[in-house]
Structure 1
Amino acid sequence: MPQSDDLDITIQGLINLPDGSVITCPECDRSEALTIYGPVGGAARVMCTAGHHFDPPARVDAVALLANAADDPRFERF
């Protein structure tokens, strides 16, 4: 199977931030089962289960968010 240059990672549960908060959709406030996606080595975008696409909060390193999710063995990459 050819390897893609894009990552698509669905997080079943919450994306907990170091300050104790969680990432929520700015349009509908959903915070569970978010999908983190973006190009390998690039900045993450987030999609909620309602289909809203948004950038992570400004205080979050979007490149590290995607890289950490890709390296976490609990999450399946698509």
Structure 2
Amino acid sequence: MTQSDDLDITIKGVINLPDSTVITCPECGASEGLTLYGKVDGAGRLMCPTGHHFDPPARVDAVALLANAAADPRFERF
């Protein structure tokens, strides 16, 4: 974690939801190389490789999404 308690996590693959759907950018449809970011213990937001920022789908717990990604050793944190 950074000193400011911000998380910036690059997801190299895709983010699969429990129902096997994949999170995609609502503007351009990108599903790979998303960045998940936010405050520690806060809700995560997403950014696609082309720079569109968006919230996770409504059915996704945005706080748990960020916390789970932060705890996953497969993801790069900056």
TM-score range, shorter chain: over 0.9
Residue 27 of structure 1: aligned partner: 27
Stretches of 4+ moved more than 2 A in 1?
none
How far apart, in 2, do the equivalents of 1:76 and 1:68 lie?
13
Q: Percent identity?
A: 79
- Deviation readout 1:13-54 (Å, 9 max, x if unpaired): 100000010000000000000000000000000000010000
Residue 6 of structure 2: aligned partner: 6
How far apart, in 2, do the equivalents of 1:34 and 1:69 lie?
12
Tell me the number of residue pairs that the alignment of Structure 1 and Structure 2 aligns: 77
- The TM-score normalised by the length of structure 2 is 0.95
RMSD, matched Cα: 0.9
Structure 2 gaps of 5+ residues are none
How far apart, in 1, do the equivalents of 2:4 and 2:31 lie?
27
